[in-house]
Chains A and B, each alone.
Chain A
Amino acid sequence: MSQAKVPAWVNVALIPLLNILLAFLVSGLVILAIGENPIEAAGYLIYGAFGYDEGIGYTLYYATNLIFTGLAVSVAFKGGLFNIGGEGQAYIGGLGVGLICLSLDHTMPLYVIAPLAVIGAAVFGAAWGYIPAYLQARRGSHIVITTIMFNFIASSLMVYLIVNWLKEDGRMAPNSRTFEENAWLPYLHELFSPLGINIGDSPLNLSFIWALLCCVFVWGLVWHTRWGYQLRTLGTNPTAARYAGIDTAKVTIWAMLISGGLAGFVGLNEIMGVNHNLLLNFTAGYGFAGIAVALMGRNNPIGIILAAILFGALYQGGAELAFELPTITPEIVVVIQGLVILFSGALEHMFKDRIEGFFIRRAVA
């Protein structure tokens, strides 16, 4: 009953904002502690992220990965599952992209390779999500632990495959040969320049558009299909799901397939869009960052886009910051990311209860 008295904007805007503010405040203290001026640092950060065309391009390029992993975490979460294995699913998804590109780039044009690569990323990522999902749904193992384990298994598998099978002949570097250019996803600045629009050179590529389409897809799927209805029922009230005759095991497995597939698209951006070869560790923690993005974006596609851009800005701005203030490393961004997870995730009740209580009391008075 009491919930009704809390205005919607409190939960949608005020509390997330407060949490992010707190995360920035603590990060500011860290920066202060290492003898730099947080305001100055923030200035460099914002300029680096949004101050010029290339910066914005980089920001959106990072955001692309984060949208994929943020959506991945949130789809699973909507079904009451904590998919902590985005990292591994993204890694294996990249393998799928790489294999398609390596086998077709001599013979096929981009418009054949690109859709196949999308499917490859989705199928491989989904497959890596399938096993933990199956084990949770049918054998009762805990999905958090299994997906953690699968991150490590993915990592070893990729090292094995790249070092033993996919490495370029006669080279030491553990990565595949560079794809032919017809297996490169076009950069947005290349696409835009014929139209007379100059957006500055950056790794931002077509997969950003795909990421936005995925947001629309997830929004429709979760909020406007029966499957989404079943997913949300399962996530909020598993007993009601059984009462409604929902096949919970099937929904669980499909949720993880979709989640894994979405995470796999990181491979699209990284392998086909930017690196143009298959290499080690290209996921670089995006899978875990997806947790922060989903938490901040409150599992809502619009929120996820905003949160992904925010974190993308931190990545890009952090690099700029480290360049301008050498005492600061880009890893400060990881600290901020962790603080966001802490405040908007683990400590969500700290403010929520008090603030809601305040509005309830005000409404009563």
Chain B
Amino acid sequence: MFDEMRLSDAPDSGCRDPYQEYAQWFGSEDPSRLRKKASEAEAFFRRTGITFNVYGAEEAAERLIPFDLVPRIISAREWSKLEKGIIQRVQAINAFLYDIYHRQEIIRAGRIPLELVENNEAFLPEMIGVDPPGKIYTHIVGTDLVRTGEDDFFVLEDNARTPSGVSYMLENRETMLHMFPELFSQIKVREVSSYPRNLRRSLGESAPASCSGDPVVAVLTPGIYNSAYFEHSFLADQMGAELVEGHDLRVVDGRIAMRTTQGYSPIDVLYRRVDDEYLDPLTFNPVSQLGVPGIMDVYRAGNITIANAPGTGIADDKAIYSYLPEIVEFYTGESAILKNVETWRCSEPDQLAYVLENLQDLVVKEVHGSGGYGMLIGPTSSKKEIETFRAKLKDKPGNYIAQPTLALSTVPIFTRKGLAPRHVDLRPFALTSPQQTVVAPGGLTRVALKKGSLVVNSSQGGGTKDTWVLEE
């Protein structure tokens, strides 16, 4: 097991380089003061209303994601490699999306099978031949990374639809600055607070060619009951953009316009946090109340930027994931800097046979699932659970992929009994415009608060940490 802070399990073990200064500071702190700080942090989050809504939970419908006060620290050297890898991957994904909705060269070249795309629910035939403004599909990507050793980072998932969690990256840092200002004068940590400004710039650069003057940006939210509403309002606020819902918008003179106190006013870029399916009831789900009737026509006419573009889901689909190394190579001519986790596609008979044989050691995921639901973690499941899952798997093998159970790295959390290692993952956020791709130096570190647990999802008992990228 790789701990990112300590060299070994021994109580007197030393620290790895990035944590040296922090460990020194921590050692000189009074634990009771830290405990007080921890409860202060919780009160702070509650007061500012940084909550997420839990579906189906009547009581306590708004919950806090637990925040741990020990930062996750990444060295400048480690970060520079991750950053390059993420930029490479995001740009390849964007090129892949353009290709897959146009000439499909990658399929013609026989690098990925046609069925995988054509029979995929995430592939939107409505997007074939559509040119998004600036040819950008993936304006915002949150790449999920896990680590298993000193130099072993793996991409677990490319969130290319509507990745969430960036507000925690920003608010966790604010909280840390508020609680421990002295730490930041001692240790040089790269700032993340320019993210909203960069997001605004990046979205502006992606505005339709017809847009003259300062592009008008709006954030489209499903509404105040959505689990990520806090983040939607937070980002709109920080960007100085309007926060709109579907019923605030309509098509006026071939453009998307929002209803203001002075009539309808056109917008150029829509940062939507509504899924493809609900975006346009005239094109997709006809009963959707969350979208804007006719927006796809405006989009096809090139008069609005939708970020991320409809149909990006085909790129972060778990079945496509296993081809990502080929995809990166095909479009960039380089081999992928970031590794994939070994993946068995259950749609292929020999791979399925291997998976069925080794269920107790594997993690099996639904191809379209997310949030840690509908998956099997072999090593921690009972015989009965494994057998139930085996039946589901045999029934629809194409719905699943399998991966080895990774020994995720740990970072200590602060507990009553002092520091205790817990498993973590990392989601950095990359912004892409026709001009450039930038990655915010940091990200969302999710941590499984239960000892030994590998599930970091906030809906299942995960917490978050501030993520520090050290300056050179």
Decide whether A and B are members of one complex: no
Chain B residues within CB distance 8 Å of chain A: none
